């Protein structure tokens, strides 16, 4: 049976429905599609796990400097996103614009940069152990 998986929750559901039978997995590595078979292992909480880290999304920061609705062109300044665990650059196929509001600005000082405690680098918000 072939499944098109669109979310971490959907993957968890499919893996649990196998009741431990091997799962064929297709994945991309260096622009090449590969396939393997993984046998889920039953945990003490009666769930099945593949032994994979799966993320639904990644987030980065860029600044749009202009947008022309007539030509649908834009200019932006941004940066690559690095995986928190491997420290490798993440290959991104698509993205979206998110509207934000500036709530406040705090000027940094030499030797005392402002630390952003809201966006901790070790956040596991979008990562699950499957």
Which tens digits make up the pLDDT trace of 15-70?
Answer: 999 999 998 888 877 788 999 999 999 999 999 999 887 877 777 766 777 888 89
Neighbouring C-beta atoms of residue 87, cutoff 10 Å? 7
Read off the pTM.
0.49
Give tens-digit pLDDT for 80-116: 778 777 788 877 776 777 777 778 877 777 877 665 5
| pLDDT tops 70 at residue 121 | no
Q: How far is Cα 29 from Cα 10, in angstroms, rounded to an integer?
A: 22
- Three-state DSSP at 15 gives helix
Query: Phi/psi zone of residue 20: left (φ > 0), alpha (ψ -120 to 50 degrees), beta?
Result: left
Cβ-count burial 38-62 (b if 16+ within 10 Å, e if not) = eebeeeeeeebbbeeeeeeeeeeee
Distance of CA 35 to CAs 28, 29, 44, 97, Å? 9, 10, 28, 33
| pLDDT tops 60 at residue 120 | no
Which H or E element spans position 8? Answer: helix 8-17
Q: How far is Cα 39 from Cα 20, in angstroms, rounded to an integer?
A: 6
């Amino acid at each position: 049976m072939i499944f098109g998986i669109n979310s971490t929750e959907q993957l968890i559901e499919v893996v649990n429905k196998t009741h431990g039978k091997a799962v064929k997995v297709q994945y991309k590595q260096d622009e090449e599609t590969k396939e393997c078979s993984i046998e889920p292992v039953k945990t003490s909480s009666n769930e099945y796990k593949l032994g994979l880290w799966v993320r639904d999304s990644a987030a980065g920061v860029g600044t749009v400097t202009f947008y022309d609705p007539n030509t649908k062109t834009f200019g932006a300044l941004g940066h690559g996103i690095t995986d928190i665990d491997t420290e490798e650059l993440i290959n991104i196929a698509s993205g979206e614009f998110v509207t934000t509001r500036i709530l406040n600005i705090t000027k940094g000082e030499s030797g005392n940069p402002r630390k952003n405690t809201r966006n901790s680098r070790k956040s596991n918000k979008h990562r699950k152990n499957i």
